[in-house]
Chain A
Amino acid sequence: MEAKKRKRRQDEEQEISKVWLLLVFAFVLTLPLYSNSYVMHIACVTGFGIIVSLGLNVLMGYTGQVSLGHAAFLAVGAYTSAILTYKVKMTFWLALPLSGAMAAFVGLVVAIPSLRLKELYLAIATMGYAFIINEVIVYWKELTNGTKGMIAPTVSFLGIELNTGHKYYYLVYAVVSLLTYFAYNLSQSKTGRAMMAVRDSEEAAQSVSISLVKYKIIAFTISAFYTGIAGSLYAHFIMVISPENFNIMLSIQYLVMLVVGGMGHLWGAVLGAIFVSLLPEGIRLSVRYLPSWLDIIDLQLFMYGLIIILFLVFEPEGVYARWLKVKRYVKAFPLSPRKQKGERIWRRWR
């Protein structure tokens, strides 16, 4: 009786989700048709952000491990891809997954000493790793050209050079779609649950034979992999990379994406990435209305800071969490969420 009603409601919800998904997909697919290069450029950058955000969400949102140094994984992916394609003359299509793998490897290496660290110390240690990796890139000049920067050549697909925003967009969003699909699957699988268990209660997780070590490492690895892939895509987009592209402010930006969007929720991560990526554009557009002594860089910086503060004070769980709460309340309307029929404790169905 109750069970049947619930099943029907679940099926309905699934249908609605599918429609939404189709709409989003249609939007993404057709966007290039009516946009100029500028918009495509922004869309690509947003795409990179989405990938990283998804990856960071696996680590921070699902597994509860803080990382303040994710820009380092981006750098590893970017440089690996650049080196493989430019110096080793490998094809991009091989370099892309290898960049992800390299970043994943670094993630693994970084994870192992970090397993016993508590939140706070872990956060700071990850900052440290990022600084160290950055310095390595700067000073290993034979490999990375140091601060002079490295070239990442354009990508070709079936003979067509992906040298415009429009063309690159399809590459980026093909990857975004695939990785989003994987991330969704992950969240619904045993691995995803195990990670969330680690986040919510290490003791209880162990009591159902979840190995903390194993899943923290998996989380770091997956998270780094995603970021490495984004790094490779990013490198071949801007074509010249140098260490300053990958600084701590970038890491903080990724953090802000999750905070704004909603940590622990896949769509939250996506929304947060979109918001943070579009923010500079929003500021640029509004500069026209502001006094001229206001430096745009400082303004952007200030806005970041302000957004962080405002969101954390008023909406620390992010936009998506608020949306979920609203949805739940609306569903229960006109019944208040607590007074639903059938919700009696201890009613047995025998």
Chain B
Amino acid sequence: MEAVALEGRGSMEILRIEDLQMHFGGLRALDGVSIDVAEGEIAAIIGPNGAGKTTVFNCISKFYKPTGGKVFFKGRDITPLPPHKVAALGIARTFQNLEIFPGMTALENILTGAHRAIGTGVFSGFLLGKNSRQEKRAKERALDMLDFLGIASAEEKIASGLPYGFRKLLEIARALLSGPSLLLLDEPAAGMNEREKAEVAKIIMDIRDELGVTVLLVEHDMNLVMQVARRITVLDYGKVIASGSPEEIRSHPRVIEAYLGAEEGRPDVS
């Protein structure tokens, strides 16, 4: 399945990363990375292990303070903002190491995604608890989201007891419930078998098609990436070595060279 190019969507840049530098002491995790993502597209960042892919995400969502460079979201410079403010602007993400909330039920996990949307404060928390109108509405949306991703049966189960696949979806559900314009998916297909990966691909495209969310993913699985992404940026040792459509990347000499020897990364799949 080829990626469906979305015509007619605004070609406005929703995310622009300009010359991003991230140094840890002497280690240059990112050395002048520039990427843009257009609104409504599905884009991907790939590269061998340690190339800096997740670091890019961490710089966007501000868990790392970039050593240099800027990040623009919808034209606005978000580089100086703290993580929770970045999220509030409409960027949601999932995590490579699965950061769900193990102590809460699946439903509660997702409801935290609606944090920004629910306007109640501490006092209405005390007085009304889950009975406020906003809470009820948020719960509806959360239940819908659980359905949308097919994990409705997990509703009241404690998240730490759920199977791995459920938890991954839970993270995505939580991210989606915050109503983001941009979704950063960090290795969504990690640890999955072929059937599950196909489901993930479908979900990613549904997210873009039905929810109108721009998706940027970091991924190792070339199949998946080729399937869903319209534009791919390849990183190696913290630098961008190629950027373009799946066909261009597939046959790009430097990309092949970077992946040579890495079994999973061979980009010669159909």
Could you list which residues of chain A lie within 8 angstroms of chain B, going by C-beta atoms? 2-3, 6, 10, 182, 184-194, 196-197, 199-201, 203-212, 218, 222, 264, 342-343, 345-349
Contacts and interface: CB of A to CB of B under 8 A. Distances in A.
Contact of B104 (A2, A186, A196): A196
B147 A349 contact: yes
A232 to B, nearest CB: 19
Summarize B's interface: helix, strand, loop or mixed.
helix
Contacts of A6: 153, 155-156
Task: Identify the interface centre among B88, B125, B127: most chain A CB within 10 Å of its CB.
Answer: B125
Contact of A201 (B92, B101, B114, B122): B101
Contact of B116 (A10, A208, A347): A208
A348 B130 contact: no
A303 B224 CA distance: 60
A196 B101 contact: yes
A84 B120 CA distance: 33
Contacts of A194: 112, 115
Nearest to B101: A200
Interface string B61-84: 101000000000000000000111
Contacts of A204: 95, 99-101, 171, 174
A57 to B, nearest CB: 13
Summarize A's interface: helix, strand, loop or mixed.
helix
Contacts of A3: 152
B112 A347 contact: no
Given A206-B84, A208-B87, A212-B84, A193 B126 contact: no
Q: List 7 tightest A-B contacts by C-beta distance, closest first.
A: A185-B129, A189-B125, A200-B101, A204-B99, A188-B130, A209-B88, A206-B83
Given A208-B115, A212-B84, 18 more contacts: A6-B155, A188-B135, A189-B132, A190-B125, A191-B122, A193-B111, A197-B115, A201-B100, A203-B63, A207-B61, A207-B92, A208-B87, A208-B175, A209-B88, A209-B116, A210-B84, A347-B150, A349-B152
B124 interface: yes
B135 A190 contact: yes
- Interface size, B (range): 35 or more
Contacts of B230: none
Given A201-B100, A345-B166, A189 B130 contact: yes
Interface in B84-98: 84-85, 87-88, 92-93, 95
Contacts of B104: 193, 196-197, 200
Given A186-B126, A203-B95, A204-B100, A210 B115 contact: yes
Interface of B: 61, 63, 82-85, 87-88, 92-93, 95, 99-104, 108, 111-116, 118, 120-122, 124-130, 132, 135, 138, 147, 150-153, 155-156, 163, 165-166, 171, 174-175, 178, 195-196, 199
Contact of B150 (A10, A187, A348): A348
B129 A184 contact: yes
Contact of B120 (A189, A196, A210): A189
A318 to B, nearest CB: 13
Contacts of B85: 209
A2 B152 contact: yes
B186 to A, nearest CB: 11
B150 A346 contact: yes
Given A206-B87, A209-B88, A349-B150, A182 B103 contact: no
B130 A342 contact: no
A201 B125 contact: no
A348 B149 CA distance: 7
25 contacts: A2-B152, A185-B125, A185-B130, A189-B120, A189-B125, A190-B115, A190-B125, A193-B111, A196-B108, A197-B104, A199-B103, A200-B102, A203-B63, A203-B95, A206-B61, A206-B63, A207-B93, A207-B95, A207-B99, A209-B84, A218-B122, A264-B103, A345-B151, A345-B165, A346-B196
Contacts of B129: 184-189
Contact of B178 (A2, A10, A209, A218): A209
B127 A182 contact: yes
Task: Identify the interface centre among A6, A196, A211, A345: most chain B CB within 10 Å of its CB.
Answer: A345
Contact of B112 (A197, A203, A343): A197
